[in-house]
């Protein structure tokens, strides 16, 4: 054989691999099948790399354990997990009820793409009692999409009760559970049909990989979600799946530290004269604390507070005076972040008075005393400009 041919086929494929703690990261679009009969035997063989290889399969198995799911599908980002799940489970003529405090890009997807494909989208007030929400749903409603706590303002909903009532009417429920990360809250155990999360946040934990997941218990739903992935042609890389799996190993210890530090910072903030209100479901006295106490096993590092009303220049001065907190829209990583939220409330249908400008904090893994000192510096700058 010539060099051209020999170089294409030289280099042995490994036989049995030695065992490492993590799965092998296989790279491959082509999958070599063992024999002719396997070529069209999709039930027993992965016939193409887009379906995911070893690291992706390990991550799916581990997430199924975390979520208490029968099957988990992976998407290239958290928003892709939500849009992919919606595209897989809804059709023209259906209606979806979406909580008004939903993560803003979900609203953008619903209003632009879902509507274009003939799905009616209605937003409901997070404060609506489950009985009124489900009783008020039209016969066309196929799904209720929840997020608990709500993005930026942390409204809690009784997801288990909504799921129970919706099921009795043949309505599916789905929840964005990125805050609970499948660890401190388990939507499927509370009867929710599909648990979605942006793995980008706490599961990844290091602010460097995008991915999302959808988990379900009903095998028929799992199949529809997997078909959706296949139809849309989505794939995640082995390297990214491996990174997610690595994050998953330390999720419980990181979450415990995020929770502890965030509660400490929140309790301190509540005592500061510049602060109007705290929005943290795990903090006693905050809205939704009763539901959190009943349904959640813990919290994370993300919460919000409002400042007493002051000119915009004071809010900017607060943020610009922070040295440890970065100004950034993400969360779930090891680092602390802050944003001013109010511009994002404009799209909401149900407006609330939060007591003043709303600041969302992500409390990272830094020492809480250092974070408190940084926030005090920010509040001093705020007070200087507030007069
Ligand atoms: C609640 C929530 N869901 C989903 C997402 C989307 O995740 P991703 O950035 O991976 O698309 C985010 C991102 O900020 C989020 O905050």
- Express each pLDDT in 151-172 by its tens digit: 999 999 999 999 999 999 999 9
281 pLDDT band, cuts 50/70/90, is very high
- 202: Cα separation from own chain's centroid: 8
Rounded CA-CA distance 299/258 in Å is: 8
Give the pLDDT confidence score for residue 65 in this predicted structure.
98
DSSP letter for 266, please: H
Q: How far apart are the first and last CA of the chain?
A: 85
Residues 6+ apart with CB under 8 A from 32: none
Rounded CA-CA distance 6/211 in Å is: 39
> Which ligand 1 atom sits nearest the alpha carbon of residue 77?
10
Sheet harboring 302-307: ordered strands across?
275-279, 302-307, 358-362, 337-340, 326-327
Give the pLDDT confidence score for residue 14 in this predicted structure.
76
Residues 219-274: tens digit of each pLDDT:
999 999 999 999 999 999 999 999 999 999 999 999 999 999 999 999 999 999 99
Q: Which residue CA neighbors atom 9 of ligand 1 most closely?
A: 78
Give the pLDDT confidence score for residue 42 in this predicted structure.
83
Domains of the chain: residue spans and CATH? 36-249 (3.40.640.10), 251-386 (3.90.1150.10)
Q: In this model, does residue 12 exceed pLDDT 80?
A: no
Instruction: Give me the mean pLDDT over the 190-205 stretch.
Output: 98
Ligand 1 shell residues, CB under 6 Å: 77-79, 103, 151, 176, 178, 198, 200, 210, 212, 330
Q: What is the pTM of this model?
A: 0.96
**354 in Cβ contact with 101 (< 8 Å):** no
Instruction: Give me the mean pLDDT over the 52-77 stretch.
Output: 98
Per-residue tokens: 289: 């604390």
Q: Which of 103, 145, 150, 195 to mutate for ligand 1's pocket (most ligand atoms within 8 Å of CB)?
A: 103
**336 in Cβ contact with 319 (< 8 Å):** no
Q: In a 10 Å sphere around its CB, with 0-12 CB exposed, 13-18 middle and 19+ buried, how is residue 167 labelled?
A: middle
Average pLDDT, the chain: 97
Q: Which residue CA neighbors atom 8 of ligand 1 most closely?
A: 78
Q: Write the CA distances from 22 to 15, 209, 243, integer angstroms.
A: 18, 18, 10
Give the pLDDT confidence score for residue 387 in this predicted structure.
80
Beta bridge partners of 275: 307
Q: 179 CA to middle of ligand 1, Å?
A: 10
Give the pLDDT confidence score for residue 16 in this predicted structure.
86
Q: Which residue CA neighbors atom 15 of ligand 1 most closely?
A: 103
Q: 78 CA to middle of ligand 1, Å?
A: 5
Q: Which of 80, 82, 105 to mutate for ligand 1's pocket (most ligand atoms within 8 Å of CB)?
A: 105
């Amino acid at each position: 054989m010539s060099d051209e041919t020999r170089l294409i086929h030289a280099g042995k494929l490994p036989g049995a691999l030695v065992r490492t703690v993590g799965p092998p990261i296989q790279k491959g679009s082509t999958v070599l099948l063992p024999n002719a009969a396997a070529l069209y035997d999709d039930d027993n063989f992965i016939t193409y790399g887009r379906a995911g290889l070893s690291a992706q399969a390990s991550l799916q198995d581990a997430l199924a354990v975390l979520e208490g799911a029968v099957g988990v599908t992976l998407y290239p980002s958290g928003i892709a997990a939500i849009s992919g799940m919606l595209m897989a489970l809804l059709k023209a003529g259906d209606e979806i009820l979406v909580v008004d405090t939903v993560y803003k890009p979900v609203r953008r997807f619903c209003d632009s793409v879902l509507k274009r494909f003939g799905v009616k989208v209605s937003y409901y007030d997070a404060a609506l009692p489950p009985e009124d929400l489900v009783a008020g749903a039209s016969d066309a409603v196929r799904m209720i999409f929840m997020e608990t706590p709500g993005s930026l303002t942390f409204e809690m909903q009784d997801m288990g009760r909504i799921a129970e009532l919706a099921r009795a009417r043949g309505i599916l429920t789905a929840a964005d559970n990125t805050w609970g990360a499948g660890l401190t809250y388990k939507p499927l155990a509370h009867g929710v049909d599909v648990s979605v999360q942006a793995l980008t946040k706490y599961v990844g934990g290091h602010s460097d990989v995008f991915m999302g997941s959808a988990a379900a218990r009903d095998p028929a739903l799992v199949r529809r979600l997997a078909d959706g992935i296949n139809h849309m042609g989505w794939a995640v890389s082995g390297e990214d799946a491996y990174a997610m799996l690595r994050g998953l190993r330390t999720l419980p210890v990181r979450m415990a530290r995020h929770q502890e530090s965030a509660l400490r910072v929140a309790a301190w903030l509540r005592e500061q004269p510049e602060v109007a209100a705290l929005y943290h479901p795990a903090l006693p006295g905050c809205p939704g604390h009763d539901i959190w106490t009943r349904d959640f096993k813990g919290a994370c590092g993300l919460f919000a507070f409002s400042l007493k009303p002051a000119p915009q220049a004071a809010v900017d001065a607060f943020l610009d005076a922070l040295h440890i907190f970065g100004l950034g829209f993400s969360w779930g990583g090891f680092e602390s972040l802050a944003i001013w939220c109010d511009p994002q409330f404009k799209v909401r249908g149900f407006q609330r008075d939060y007591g003043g400008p709303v600041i969302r904090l992500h409390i990272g893994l830094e020492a809480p005393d250092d974070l408190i000192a940084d926030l005090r510096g920010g509040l001093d700058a705020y007070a200087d400009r507030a007069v």
